[in-house]
Structure 1
């Protein structure tokens, strides 16, 4: 956990030092590439685990159910607020 906090603090320092610099415009592209690389590596690690691959149908069903219920819950909780703001 400490390396993660240290990385965050170094990033904050870099952001402060680069403020106003033209390099700051590159950060969104660097973040996008970094996240894509992270997902690629995680996918390769998961794909190489036969136990996870064999349980994918069961896990996929649970994930789909969780996603649908989360979206439905968000919509149901948002509707009363939206109606209240429209009146």
Structure 2
């Protein structure tokens, strides 16, 4: 389940503003503002959540499952990325 906190953290790691996420995902800026304003799981249609996830993942963010410590995000290892893409 994707949370508003994860999306905000992903944007912070990427140094993106909400408008950058809107551009990268194709999701409207008002929708992103509405989804990020409410804490917890994002209440949106599947295609909207998929577009948001895909945009930040393509930019280098990985989502981390709860594993008892709560969900989170992190940046992929740039060395690992360059080796697997090369």
TM-score when normalising by structure 1: 0.21
- Greater length-normalized contact order (CA 8 Å, ≥ 6 residues apart): 2
Q: Between Structure 1 and Structure 2, which shows a larger proportion of strand residues?
A: 2
Larger Rg computed on CA atoms: 1
